[in-house]
């Protein structure tokens, strides 16, 4: 044998992990909620999700082509963004809303900041915030589940007193299953939690952020004087489950340090409770995550783990 | 004290692949016709040859020695004629002066190879001297001269000896078979080390994926009051010195420090066996157990190979390559050294010869970092490999230094786990080299 063997620096083996597998896992985890939203909101939900996903993928490919970067739509990350964006829309949103949202999420928030792993904000959430400020009427008119487009109030709006005196809160079980008004993907806590368990078991997400996020929200709501019997409505009635398990766990816009993940969750939970109780909006999950996204580099700096054997 | 299921924070579960050889008993390799013995097989000063071309040497004869403290002699593994003394390529990748000896097949033993008496009859000084004269180095792979490790400065009070039987590298089973087949030699080696360092607390730490080795060691240790066999959770890099100290004693070796800073000396079980052989048989270190394994070899085996035997011959004895070899590695797949040729000799640190198939080592496309943080989770030193790597790739070595690149033990867990297949430890190594070079320059 001559000297032709391939030599390189160790390690010589790699795990089965891949970016594609991770993104695919997120898609799998979101599938029950997708099916649920179509079941509750009908074809309208299906149309919005499809439009959102397709436009996210197309915009990703077009931007990468235009920027002369390798096209990486096969990593499924644009699909995840598309689904999450659609999940934040009300059922009777017009067809162009997800398209505009996807364009903003993918082109501006994701690709202009360097693409996958470099975005400093969660693209789907940033797009939601943009849509909410640009078309507040459309974005906060929710319809009840079912084929008829009956306008309804979300439990959070009802609790906030924004829905008039005749509106009553749905039953807790209805709310947990998702048979209530709200954005198409965030209503069913049950289906979202099934997916979250899958992600936790697969090691895709870490429990630290969601648990500290939800825990802090509950504690702060309690301290702000929210009646204990209303607190379950706060947990399952808005975007808290979707936000804490699927958005606050976004890799590139949240801390990598173990302590940082907890700090992120606590901060987001505090802000969520603050906005919901003291702010003008009935819902505060997305803004609190976005604010914490911006604080992430700072959090990472102050939560660097102690290196083994380090003497401080 | 807890004796089972010990572990450390971080680390990664790597497929073991030990089934290829863990049940195969030790067997002596075929006598080599020619051996190439490098004059430096250890960390420290290279040896000067004690023989010249044309000399006849015997098995176990000292053929190289250095006067430096951090060095250790080398011995001939065969009886025969010295053919050549010249620099040759060795598995560490360096060109090193090597003594080539043509074996005459007599295997005549050198006069110095004779039992040194019972351990009880020897003083700790004498034990140390035997270890030094027998050319014993760390058999786990790093190859640090053992007598140096066992001679801590007087201000460092050692109270614990740990024998490392973790063998956390996938594929390797050399230590495993040794513990199953020669547990009494391992214990004798441990007692010798305890005597040399004058310590009365010894542990033998074994990963729990080797139940037969644990049973065998516990059986021979049942009457020992000062020696305990402890089990470790199978997780990479459990066999790293600082990780094993942490798991067994709970102590944390300070950053940049040595095990002796926390009163511990760690030696490999293979090293203990070599010490036992040196005392019981008077045998210097001229052969060792090598696991020849991987899906790229026909018949994986655990062979006792004479040092200096070319890899090529060892591989041929194991039925040769299965297909075209993808990678030839000395050691395990996580920290082993890949070789560009098989015309290199087995040395004191050759714990394994691993051949991976082309399919197994196919380079995978590198994707951008997605900041998933898996490297942070697995890093046994609790670093943030993604950022150090980024600094290194951008040539910001001072930033890498601030991020404590020098604490990296280069175990490769980060690169292994990375879903984007990024060269994390590879780039951190570059940063470490640059930082050390800069520090040297500043001096």
Q: What is the DSSP letter of A228?
A: G
Cα–Cα distance for residue pair A288/A129, rounded to 1 Å: 11
Query: Are A296 and A122 contacting, i.e. CB atoms less than 8 angstroms apart?
Result: no
Are B340 and A12 inside 8 Å of each other by CB? no
**A24 min Cα distance to partner chain B (Å):** 13
Instruction: Say which range, A257-261, A276-280, B14-18, has the weakest mean pLDDT.
Output: A276-280
Q: Report which DSSP code applies to B420.
A: T
Cβ–Cβ < 8 Å for B57, B85: no
Give percent of chain A with pLDDT exceeding 90: 71
Q: For residue A282, what pLDDT is reported?
A: 80
Give me B73's structure tokens: 């002699």
Percent of chain B with pLDDT over 90: 91
Asked if A155 and A175 count as a contact pair (C-beta separation under 8 A), the reply is yes
> Which tokens hold the place of A214?
């939800």
Q: Which two tokens stand for residue B438?
A: 């800069």
Task: Give ∠ CA A9-A14-A18 in degrees, rounded to 5.
Answer: 130
Q: What is the spatial distance between Cα A19 and Cα A76, in angstroms, rounded to a whole number?
A: 9
Q: Based on DSSP, count helices (H) and strands (E) in chain B, helices before strands.
A: 13, 17
What value does the mean pLDDT take over residues A55-83? 95
Cβ within 8 Å, pair B341-A305: no
Q: Residue A166: what pLDDT?
A: 61
CA distance A111 to A57: 12
Cα B273 from Cα A126, distance rounded (Å): 63
- Average pLDDT of the residues of chain B: 94
Nearest-neighbour CA in chain A from B363: distance (Å): 10
Residue B341 and residue A3: Cβ atoms within 8 Å? yes
DSSP classification of residue B193: H
**Residue (of B212, B391, B280, B365) closest to A18 by Cα position:** B365
Joined together, the tokens standing for residue A84 give 């999450």
Of A13-27, A159-173, B176-190, B204-218, the range with the lowest mean pLDDT is: A159-173
CA-to-CA separations, B29 to B164, B275, B292, in angstroms, rounded: 25, 21, 11
Q: A26 near A205, Cβ under 8 Å? A: no
- Per-residue pLDDT band for A149 (boundaries 50, 70, 90) equals low
Choose among B256, B361, B370: nearest Cβ to A252. Answer: B370
What is the model's pTM?
Answer: 0.92
Run of H or E residues at B390: helix B385-393
Q: In what order do the strands lie in the sheet with B56-57?
A: B34-38, B95-103, B80-89, B56-57
Report pLDDT digits (tens) over B55-65.
Answer: 999 999 999 99
Of B338, B320, B321, nearest in space to B329 by CA: B338
Contact A4 B340 (CB under 8 A): yes
Domain boundaries, chain A: 19-298
Q: What is the pLDDT of residue B2?
A: 82
Cβ atoms B75, B49 nearer than 8 A = no
Q: pLDDT value at position B57?
A: 96
Per residue in B148-158, pLDDT (tens digit) is 999 999 999 99
B263-282 pLDDT, tens digit each: 999 999 999 999 999 999 99
The pLDDT of residue A55 is above 70: yes
Instruction: Check whether B387 has a pLDDT greater than 80.
Output: yes
Interface predicted TM-score of the whole assembly (ipTM), two decimals = 0.90
Q: How many CB atoms lie within 10 A of CB A112?
A: 13
Three-state SS at B372? coil
Q: Which helix (H) or strand (E) holds B434?
A: helix B424-442
Please answer yes or no on whether A10 and B170 come within 8 Å at the CB atom: no
Q: Is the pLDDT reported for residue A3 higher than 60?
A: no
Sorted by where each starts, the structural domains of chain B and their CATH numbers stand as 18-23+114-280 (3.40.50.11540), 374-442 (no CATH)
Yes or no, beta carbons of B370 and A311 under 8 Å apart: no
Average pLDDT score over chain A: 91
Q: Taking a C-beta distance cutoff of 8 angstroms, is the pair B128, B151 a contact?
A: yes
DSSP letter for each residue of A229-249:
GGHHHHHHSSSHHHIIIIITT
Taking domain A19-298, whether its CATH number is 1.10.3430 is answered by yes
Please give the distance of CA B82 from its chain centroid, rounded to a whole number: 28
Whether residues B326 and A6 touch (CB distance < 8 A) is answered with yes
Q: Which residues of chain A are at the B interface, by a Cβ-Cβ cutoff of 8 Å?
A: 1-15, 17-19, 21-22, 72, 75, 77, 115-118, 206, 251-252, 256-258, 304-311
| A-chain residue closest to B387, CA distance | A256
Query: What is the DSSP-derived secondary structure letter of residue B83?
Result: E
Size of interface A-B (CB pairs under 8 A): 158
What's the first-to-final CA gap in chain B, in angstroms? 46
Question: What would the pLDDT profile of A184-196 be if each residue is shown by its tens digit?
Answer: 888 889 999 999 9
């Amino acid at each position: 044998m001559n000297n032709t063997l391939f030599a390189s620096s160790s390690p010589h083996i790699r795990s089965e992990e891949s970016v594609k597998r991770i993104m695919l896992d997120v898609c799998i985890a979101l599938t029950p909620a997708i099916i649920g939203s179509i079941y509750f909101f009908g074809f309208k939900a299906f149309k919005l999700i499809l439009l959102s996903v397709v436009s996210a993928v197309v915009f990703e490919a077009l931007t990468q082509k235009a920027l002369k970067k390798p096209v990486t739509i096969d990593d499924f990350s644009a699909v995840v963004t598309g689904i999450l964006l659609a999940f934040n829309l009300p059922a009777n949103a017009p067809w162009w809303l997800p398209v505009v949202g996807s364009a903003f999420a993918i082109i501006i928030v994701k690709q202009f900041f360097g693409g996958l792993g470099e975005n400093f904000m969660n693209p789907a959430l940033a797009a939601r915030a943009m849509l909410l400020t640009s078309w507040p009427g459309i974005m906060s008119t929710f319809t009840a589940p079912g084929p008829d487009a009956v306008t309804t109030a979300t439990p959070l709006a009802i609790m906030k007193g924004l829905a008039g005196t005749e509106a009553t809160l749905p039953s807790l079980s209805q709310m947990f299953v998702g048979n209530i008004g709200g954005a198409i993907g965030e209503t069913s806590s049950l289906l979202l939690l099934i997916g979250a368990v899958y992600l936790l078991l697969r090691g895709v997400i870490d429990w630290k952020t969601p648990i500290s996020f939800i825990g802090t929200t509950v504690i702060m709501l309690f301290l702000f004087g929210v009646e204990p019997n209303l607190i379950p409505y706060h947990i399952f009635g808005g975007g808290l489950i979707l936000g804490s398990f699927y958005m606050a766990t976004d890799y590139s816009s949240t801390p990598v340090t173990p302590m940082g993940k907890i700090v992120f969750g606590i901060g987001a939970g505090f802000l969520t409770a603050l906005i919901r109780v003291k702010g003008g909006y009935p819902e505060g999950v997305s803004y609190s995550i976005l604010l914490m996204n911006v604080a992430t580099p700072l959090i990472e700096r102050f939560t660097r783990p102690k290196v083994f054997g380090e003497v401080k | 004290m807890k004796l089972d299921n010990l572990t450390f924070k971080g680390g990664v579960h790597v497929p073991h692949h030990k089934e290829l050889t863990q049940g195969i008993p030790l067997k002596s390799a075929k006598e080599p016709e020619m051996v190439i013995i490098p004059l430096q097989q250890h960390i420290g000063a290279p040896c000067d040859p004690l023989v010249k071309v044309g000399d006849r040497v015997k098995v176990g004869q000292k053929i190289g020695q250095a006067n430096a403290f951090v060095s250790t002699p080398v011995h001939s593994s065969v009886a025969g004629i010295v053919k050549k003394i010249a620099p040759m390529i060795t598995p560490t990748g360096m060109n090193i002066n090597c003594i080539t000896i043509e074996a005459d097949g007599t295997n005549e033993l050198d006069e110095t190879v004779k039992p040194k008496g019972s351990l009880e009859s020897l003083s700790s000084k004498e034990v140390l001297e035997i270890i030094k004269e027998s050319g014993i180095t760390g058999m786990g792979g790093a190859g640090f001269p053992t007598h140096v490790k066992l001679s801590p400065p007087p201000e460092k009070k050692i109270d614990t000896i740990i024998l490392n039987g973790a063998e956390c590298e996938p594929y390797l089973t050399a230590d495993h078979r040794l513990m199953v087949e020669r547990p009494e030699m391992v214990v004798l080696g441990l007692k010798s080390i305890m005597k040399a360092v004058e310590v009365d607390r010894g542990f033998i730490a074994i990963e729990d994926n080797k139940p037969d080795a644990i049973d065998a060691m516990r059986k021979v240790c049942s009457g020992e009051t000062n020696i305990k066999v402890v089990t470790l959770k199978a997780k990479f890099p459990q066999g790293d010195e600082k990780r094993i100290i942490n798991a067994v004693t709970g102590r944390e070796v300070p950053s940049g420090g040595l095990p002796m800073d926390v009163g511990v000396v760690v030696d490999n079980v293979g090293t203990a066996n070599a010490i036992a052989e040196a005392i019981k048989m008077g045998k210097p270190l001229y052969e060792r157990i090598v696991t020849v394994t991987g899906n790229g070899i026909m018949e994986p085996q655990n062979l006792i190979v004479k040092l200096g035997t070319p890899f090529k011959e060892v591989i041929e004895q194991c039925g040769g390559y299965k297909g075209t070899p993808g990678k030839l590695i000395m050691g395990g797949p996580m920290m082993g050294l890949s070789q560009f040729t098989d015309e290199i000799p087995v040395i004191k640190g050759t714990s394994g010869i691993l051949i991976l198939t082309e399919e197994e080592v196919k380079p995978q496309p590198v994707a951008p970092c997605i900041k998933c943080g898996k490297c942070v989770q697995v890093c046994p030193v609790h670093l943030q490999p993604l950022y150090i790597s980024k600094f290194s790739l951008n040539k910001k070595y001072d930033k890498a230094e601030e991020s404590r690149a020098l604490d990296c033990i280069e175990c490769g867990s980060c690169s292994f786990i990375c879903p984007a297949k990024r060269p994390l430890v590879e780039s951190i190594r570059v940063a470490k080299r640059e930082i050390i070079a800069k520090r040297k320059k500043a001096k």
